[in-house]
Structure 1
Amino acid sequence: MTHTRRVRNLVSASSLVLLTAFFVQTAPLPASAAGGLTSPSIVLYDDCDFHPIRFDLELPEYTDGFSADINIYGPDGLEAGSGFVYGDGSDGAGTEEVFMCDDPRPGRYRLQAEVEACDYDYNCFDYVVDGSSFNLRYPRSRTLIKATSGQRHRIAVTVKEERPRGYFTTDSYNTVVLEKKQGKRWARVSRGYTDARGVARFNGPNKPGRETFRARVIFDSDDDVMNSTSRPLTLS
């Protein structure tokens, strides 16, 4: 009688251990889990390019393998780019280059990852990692104005565009507007275009007096470069 009771107790204890282990291994992950997705601000030099995304998927410690779709959502809420990562073990951190194309627009973009994590027994669970947002902008420009004196002032305006390694002179046929200050407002006095060296030239005033000018570059909408205005230049 004692032997039978002892066997029943051992069977019950073993069943409890197995049942507990089963629930530990198959407990579902939350629909949205902690983790991190970050990206630096992006300058849109090209319509199509790869952009670095830093990810930490916070995988469960019993994970044997994982895969994740990393998605970028634009200001309009639509998907603007995606990437795919996978690996073994429970280390779900790294960097992935996500491809963006189809003429992305400036604004705030949001990151999100759809993760599948599997344990050693091939029990797989899906969850979502919400990331931070980042800013995407067009390259900036710089407009520099200077003048040479003589019988008549000559005004030279140099336009430079932001590139990955700094600012470099723009190309030909970009519109430059020369403006003169009249009271508290600026009035357009001339219009020109940059040459092959990124310079637009204007004839300044030939009469005595103190006058202040500035220059603005206006890029075509399909150039995807931000307009800029020079500092004021006073001639006398």
Structure 2
Amino acid sequence: MRAPTHLRGPLAAAATVLGVLLASLAAAPAPAQAAVGGTTSAPGVVLYDACQQVPISYAIDPGGATSWRLQLQIFDPDGRTSQGFVANSNAGAATTGTFSMQFCGSELPGTWTVKGALCASFTCLFTDPQTGTAALADSTFEVRPAQSSAVLSAKRIRGGRYVLKARVSEERAQGWTPYAGALVRFERLVGDQWAPVVRRDLTAAGGVAKLRKRLPIGTRVRAVVQPADNTYGSVSGVLRLRR
């Protein structure tokens, strides 16, 4: 920018500098808004008979905004919304935190998904919630039934009979415990197929199922724990009956 002809000396120089500054400001782009985002996470869940609290954690960056709102939704493996949570800075929420979600054993096993949406602008906070909201990357966690296990033993008694005993355990929060009430089927190998030793399943009282049966020496047997609503089934090792 050229100084006016009627300005001389220091005034002309000052006018020139001012013109350059104004031109630079006009050409400079508007400052970009800092990016917002965040992450979520949850541990794997084992379904037990008793209820348990599972932590759903988040960590966000509101891009320097002092007011923000985070919405989380939890989806089961079928895509149904199970539960939702909201963290709001105006309610004292921090940019990192944890929600507790309750699992009581009847939930659907499989891959669960955590979806998050972060609002950190005036528009989505006060005028249009659908505008200016940033979607967080999905996170997933696995939900599965508890495991079971069976250990089979056999003892020969009078009359060519055997006592088959299956000790059954189940996975619990405090460790492996006797699986009381488990349904156990004793099987024997006939040719290349497994067949029931008796037609009915036996109930493991106190985690132990017993069967007395006349069987030929050399018969191969095993115990099969039937699956329950929130417990996997299992199969013992194969045992060959001896004299």
Quote the residue 1:200 is aligned against: 209
Quote the residue 1:225 is aligned against: 231
Aligned length: 221
Establish whether residue 166 from structure 1 lines up as the match of residue 175 from structure 2. Answer: yes
CA distance in 1, matches of 2:110, 2:46: 11
CA distance in 2, matches of 1:46, 1:57: 34
Match of 2:187 among 179, 183, 205: 179
TM-score norm. by structure 2 comes to: 0.74
Q: Which letter does structure 1 place at the counterpart of 2:219? A: E
Quote the residue 2:78 is aligned against: 76
Closer/same/farther in 2, CA of residues 182 and 228 from structure 1, 3 Å limit: same
1:224 counterpart SS class: coil
**TM-superposition CA deviations, 1:130-174 (whole Å, max 9, x none):** 2222211111111221122332321111222211111111223x3
Q: Which letter does structure 2 place at the counterpart of 1:224? A: N
Unaligned runs of 5+ in 2: 1-5
Match of 2:144 among 122, 125, 137: 137
Quote the residue 2:240 is aligned against: 234
Q: How far has the Cα of 1:218 moved from its partner?
A: 1.5
2:117 counterpart SS class: strand
Unaligned runs of 5+ in 1: none
TM-score norm. by structure 1 comes to: 0.75
Q: Which letter does structure 1 place at the counterpart of 2:233? A: N
CA distance in 1, matches of 2:69, 2:106: 28
Establish whether residue 53 from structure 1 lines up as the match of residue 56 from structure 2. Answer: yes
Contact 2:165–2:211 at 8 Å: present in 1 too?
A: yes
Q: Which letter does structure 2 place at the counterpart of 1:52? A: P
Q: How far has the Cα of 1:99 moved from its partner?
A: 4.2
Q: How far has the Cα of 1:118 moved from its partner?
A: 5.0
2:78 counterpart SS class: coil
CA distance in 2, matches of 1:47, 1:90: 30
1:53 counterpart SS class: strand
Which has the larger Rg?
Answer: 2
Match of 1:67 among 66, 69, 76: 69
CA distance in 1, matches of 2:105, 2:204: 31
**TM-superposition CA deviations, 1:51-98 (whole Å, max 9, x none):** 2123222331x1213331221112222212222334489972333323
CA distance in 1, matches of 2:179, 2:105: 25
Closer/same/farther in 2, CA of residues 67 and 195 from structure 1, 3 Å limit: same
CA distance in 2, matches of 1:217, 1:126: 50
Quote the residue 1:41 is aligned against: 44
Match of 1:150 among 140, 152, 157: 157
**TM-superposition CA deviations, 1:103-126 (whole Å, max 9, x none):** 42111111111112258xx88952
**TM-superposition CA deviations, 1:3-48 (whole Å, max 9, x none):** 7985xx49x85xx59x97xx548x485xxx6532222211122586
